[in-house]
Amino acid sequence: MAQLISIAYKIESKGVMTEVSEASVSLEAGVENDRLGRPGKRQVTVMSLEQWNQATSELAPTPPTPLVWTDRRCNILVSGIAFSAKDVGSRLKIGSLILEITGETDPCKKMRAVHPGLEQALTPNWRGGVTCRVIQPATIKAGDRVTTCTDTSSNA
């Protein structure tokens, strides 16, 4: 079963990511307290644990300390789902929250500062995650079930 692993936000540009186990996600602000949560196609970012692990396993040299998912600077980490181009336009349901997948979260040069080669390791196969728009707000928590749906005719 796919599930929500964790949630994170940053309150300022280039600021530290704060990891939480529960958060409200709204139409107006995305993940509560996140500085980039305003309405739009990039309101919330979601990444797959399996894709993150695949990317970091390919790094050479191996980082002296293991990289953590918040190094990617995304909002939501899920397991049991791998993202790809075919997911654009589909809905991602996390507990009662419904997100529309709007595109790929392109790895940026900030990843070079985290570890040499990380930007390139995140580039193939949408390993960097997806961008989303909030369709139905809710409070989510670690352990919530995650499902995808291509039927966008309703909020289900």
Tell me the pLDDT tens digit for each residue of 112-153: 878 888 999 999 999 999 999 999 999 999 999 999 987 665
SS3 100: strand
pLDDT in the model for residue 96? 98
Whether 25 is in a domain gets the answer yes
For the chain, give the number of residues.
156
Whether 156 is in a domain gets the answer no
pLDDT in the model for residue 155? 55
Whether 26 is in a domain gets the answer yes
Q: What is the mean pLDDT of the chain?
A: 92
% the chain with pLDDT above 90: 73
pLDDT in the model for residue 151? 64
pLDDT confidence of 88, banded at 50, 70, 90?
A: very high
**42: containing domain:** 3-8+19-149
Averaged pLDDT, 85-103: 98
Whether 154 is in a domain gets the answer no
- How many angstroms from the chain centroid is the CA of residue 79? 11
pLDDT in the model for residue 63? 78
| 152 residue type, one letter | T
d(C-alpha 20, C-alpha 30), whole Å: 14
Whether 119 is in a domain gets the answer yes
pLDDT in the model for residue 62? 79
Furthest C-alpha separation in the chain: 48
Residue 84 tokens read as: 């790809």
CATH number of the domain at 92, please.
Answer: 2.40.33.20
pLDDT confidence of 36, banded at 50, 70, 90?
A: confident
Q: Residue 142 carries which DSSP code?
A: T
Contacts 24+ apart (CB under 8 A), 59-63: 59/115, 59/116, 59/117, 59/118, 59/121, 60/117, 63/115
Residue 156 has pLDDT above 70, yes or no: no
**In sequence order, what are the beta bridge partners of 94?**
97, 146
pLDDT confidence of 26, banded at 50, 70, 90?
A: very high
d(C-alpha 68, C-alpha 150), whole Å: 30
In the chain, how many domains are there? 1
